Amino acid sequence: MIQFDAVHKLFPNGTTAVHDLSLALPEGGVTVLVGSSGCGKTTTLRMINRMVEPTSGTIRVGGKDVQEQDAAELRRSIGYVIQQSGLFPHRTVLDNIATVPLLLGWGRRKARARAAELLETVGLAPEAGRRYPHQLSGGQQQRVGVARALAADPPVLLMDEPFGAVDPVVRTQLQDELLRLQKELSKTIVFVTHDIDEAVRLGDRIAIFRTGGHLIQCAEPAELLARPADDFVADFLGAERGLKLLSLRTLADVPQGAVPEGGTWTLVLDEARKPLHWASKDAELPVRPLQDTDSLLSALNESVASPTGLIARVDAAGVLTGVSSRDDIHEHANRAHTEVVAA
């Protein structure tokens, strides 16, 4: 766990970057710090590894006061990823990833073997290890940055707007990759962004700051969207926070039944009972089956696209388990919307 106790940061020019911050960041989860420029989120992140020193207060990582640790050793024990990947241009990708293990005294062979293993972990081909950063795309460079931060297997990973400099498609891919890695590795991640949609997608908890370094609310995304602490938080979340909430609610509680018989449209299955498409006498239309873990927002979209208003439900193997109606999906979506309106 990372613990802030009454942490204050005042810069020499008189600017208060962080104001009396007390906050616990749970172990093994993703805590996203979000807010507009100048709200103190990056300063908060950088105080964890002592890139910035607090004016007062205490910060503990794993129960240890960071001020009582050697700053260089502390930084080597914490992964750090920034917006521009920060790779050494004169070193190959493998040697970039091996940087921290080598600083920690690992043998060169062991460090390079770990780097090669991490290339695969972050979804890069082995031959990428022989290239130099300028030979990679922006998205690939960010993957290398993540791999380098993970090289010494640190328990804590700090990420300062790591995907902010890539295009939206690559950004979504990198977010997916981070979610996959976190499911596998369960690091304690502190992630800074100004994008509330990114925060909702990635965060187990979201901390919203406003100018002057004031923490306004920290909560799980669903709690935050349903019950913002004040008008500032509600405005920051935006007018579409109801849709954001639907992206977090799953289909699990929506009832499902058998595929109706005798209608104009038939759900065609393969031999393994996996949905193939909707078929009528004159046409075929695509079907996008959904699982219990898919969101209500996805279900609403699919029910609109479906010629019958029904969505096909499948298990993890893609086998049909039943169908859900547009009315049932709307009912559950309206309940979520009512929570937002009442908040």
CATH superfamily, domain 2-244, is P-loop containing nucleotide triphosphate hydrolases (3.40.50.300)
Q: Is the pLDDT of residue 231 over 80?
A: yes
- Give the long-range contacts of residues 284-292, CB within 8 A, separation 24 or more: 287/312, 288/312, 289/313, 289/314, 289/318, 289/320, 290/251, 290/314, 291/251, 291/315, 291/316, 292/250, 292/251, 292/252
Q: What is the pLDDT of residues 15-60, one digit of tens each?
A: 999 999 999 999 999 999 999 888 999 999 999 999 999 999 999 9
Joined together, the tokens standing for residue 136 give: 């990679």
Asked if 188 contacts 25 with a C-beta cutoff of 8 angstroms, the reply is yes
* % pLDDT > 70, the chain: 98
Average pLDDT on 188-209 reads: 93
Q: Are 275 and 267 in contact (CB under 8 A)?
A: yes
Average pLDDT over residues 183-195: 92
Q: Map out the domains of the chain as residue ranges.
A: 2-244, 251-342
Instruction: State the fold for domain 251-342.
Output: CBS-domain (3.10.580)
Query: Please, which residues have CB within 8 angstroms of residue 205's CB and are 6 or more apart in sequence?
Result: 25, 26, 29, 30, 31, 32, 218, 219, 220, 221
Question: What is the structure's pLDDT at 21?
Answer: 96
H or E element in which residue 23 lies = strand 16-25
Contact between residue 280 and residue 265 where contact means Cβ atoms under 8 Å apart: yes
pTM across the whole model: 0.82
90-138 per-position pLDDT tens digit: 999 999 999 888 888 898 899 989 999 898 888 889 899 999 999 998 8
* Integer angstrom CA distances of residue 209 from 7, 60, 284: 14, 20, 50
> pLDDT tens for residues 305-342?
899 999 999 999 999 999 999 999 988 888 776 765 55
pLDDT score for 36: 85
> Which tens digit of pLDDT belongs to each residue from 258-275?
988 878 899 999 999 999
Q: What is the pLDDT of residues 142-151, one digit of tens each?
A: 899 999 999 8
Q: Which residue has the tokens 């380098």?
A: 148
Q: What is the pLDDT of residue 341?
A: 55
d(CA 263, CA 140): 49
Which positions ≥6 away from 71 have C-beta within 8 Å? 50
In the DSSP assignment, the letter for residue 135 is: G
